[in-house]
Amino acid sequence: MMDPSQFKDYYQSLGVKPTADQGEIKKTFRRLAREYHPDVNKAPGSEARFKDISAAYDVLGDEKKRQEYDTLYRYMQNGGGSRSHAGSRPGGPTSRGFGFEFGNANMSPDIEDIFNRFFGAQGSQSPFSRARPGGSPFSGGHGSCASECHSRANPTPQKSKPEAQVEITLEEAFSGCKRSFDLHSPQGVKQIVVTIPAGITDGQSLRIGGGSRGKDMLTGERLISVKIAPHRWFRLLNRDVELDLPLSPWEAALGCQVTVPTLAGQVRLRIPAGSQSGQRLSLRGKGLPGSPPGNQTVLLRILTPEAVSPAQIEAYQRFSQEFSFDPRRDLF
């Protein structure tokens, strides 16, 4: 049996109307979370308030969860949660404008299932709230796991399958980082800090939480899948990374030494004389750490500068006269 006293008005928790769109809900949550986060607000009751708005956003911020919650919300607003109004019909004085009809005068067969998923003995529908890197979802940073992390739980989690996903940067995958999660249970909300090890690969799963050993997982244990965000320079393949390196024609022709970025910092790389566009050079051990560590491939890209001034045009003309070079000699 559902206990109506356990129902929580998540719209009231966030201070938004049931007609609010997802953008307004997200904006309101961000504002309230900044105000009440325990790291910045030490006032009595701020932590409880923060947990309350986090639980509300965990449901309302997910469109699928919100649809189910709205079904329950309309039922409760129509008097379904009050014994004195158990016989009231949808559309009556307590409906607040919602047009909603059940086949039974008291309760839809699905309502109790929905209620129990959110507020019943099994606890929250989702074991996670939004993940907060470094304890705060709003601080910026580089290489310290400080970008916002969105964690979505599967509404019907299956054993040994990831129930949420956390996104990290490639730099964080290289050096390791931490994420904090709120685990929801019938006993309340518990925040745990998860260490993401250096060298983790895209799609790899981590186990968090847990108590006594069950059949194949610890009681309360959850799986999260790690996603490595695309990088502006590097392409990732397992533990290996690839980098496009632009070169001028004279650097490629004469050879040179250039500074190349790697995940561990800058290194000097020797470009052999006569290098061609598309040629690959290898930096061993400069990929993600591991046993063995990944490598970095440098893909040479020769860029031709535009001739704009008369002197530059003349220089290209002299260049063409000095070389008897036909780039299409093998084409015909």
Distance (Å) of CA 99 to CA 75, 79, 90, 102, 328: 10, 13, 7, 10, 73
In angstroms, the Cα distances linking 248 to 112, 161, 277, 278, 304 are: 69, 49, 10, 13, 6
Q: For the chain, where are the alpha helices, taking DSSP H only?
A: 10-14, 22-36, 46-60, 63-75, 109-119, 170-175, 249-254, 310-322
Q: What span, in angstroms and rounded, lies between the C-alpha atoms of 230 and 168?
A: 10
Which of 75, 131, 67 has the alpha carbon at shortest distance from 103? 75
Mean pLDDT of 133-143: 35
More reliable by pLDDT, 134 or 44:
44
> Taking a C-beta distance cutoff of 8 angstroms, is the pair 167, 193 a contact?
no
For the chain, the average pLDDT equals 76
What pLDDT score was predicted for residue 99? 34
**Distance of alpha carbon 21 from alpha carbon 96, whole angstroms:** 18
- 65 is written with which tokens? 């969860």
Would the pLDDT of 132 be above 70?
Answer: no
Pairing of strands 234-237, 240-247: antiparallel
Residue 206 tokens read as: 């981590």
Does the pLDDT of residue 193 top 70, yes or no? Answer: yes
Q: What's the pLDDT tens digit per position in 253-304?
A: 999 999 999 999 999 999 999 999 999 999 999 999 998 999 999 999 999 9
Rounded Cα distance, 177 and 61, in Å: 26
Structure confidence by residue, pLDDT tens digits, 99-108: 333 333 345 5
According to the model, what pLDDT value does residue 250 have? Answer: 94
> Which pLDDT belongs to residue 146?
34
pLDDT tens, position by position, 109-119? 478 778 877 87
- Token digits for 185? 């249970």
The per-residue pLDDT for 163 is 66
Eight-class DSSP state of 230 = P
Q: Is the pLDDT of residue 145 over 90?
A: no
pLDDT tens sequence across 217-228:
444 567 888 999
Greatest C-alpha distance within the chain = 99
For the CA atoms of 318, 321, 325, 331, the dihedral, rounded to the nearest 10 degrees, stands at 100
Query: According to the model, what pLDDT value does residue 175 have?
Result: 93
Contact 44, 31 (CB under 8 A): no
Question: Which domains does the chain show, CATH number per domain?
Answer: 4-119 (1.10.287.110), 132-228 (2.60.260.20), 234-322 (2.60.260.20)
φ, ψ for residue 306, nearest 5 deg: -80, 135
208 touches 219 (CB < 8 A): no
How much is the average pLDDT of 16-21?
Answer: 92
pLDDT at 136: 34
Residues above pLDDT 90, as percent of the chain:
39
Q: Choose the weakest-confidence range: 117-126, 242-251, 266-275.
A: 117-126
CB 296 within 8 A of CB 283: yes
With tokens 């993401």, the residue in question is 196
Given a contact cutoff of 8 angstroms between Cβ atoms, the answer to whether 267 and 213 are in contact is no
Residue ranges of E strands in 123-221: 132-133, 164-168, 177-185, 188-196, 205-208
pLDDT category at 138 given cuts 50, 70, 90 is very low
User: In the predicted model, what is the mean pLDDT of residues 77-97?
Assistant: 44
| Mean pLDDT along residues 4-22 | 90
pLDDT at residue number 161: 63
pLDDT at res. 140: 34
**Residue 221 near residue 93, CB atoms below 8 Å:** no
* 133's tokens: 């890197």
271 vs 215, which has greater pLDDT? 271
Given pLDDT bands bounded at 50, 70 and 90, which one contains residue 77?
confident
Select from 251, 226, 227, 231 the least CA-distant residue to 241: 231
Q: What is the DSSP letter of 100?
A: -
For the stretch 104-122, what's the b/e string if a residue is b when 16 or more beta carbons lie within 10 angstroms of its beta carbon? eeeebeebeebbbbbbbee
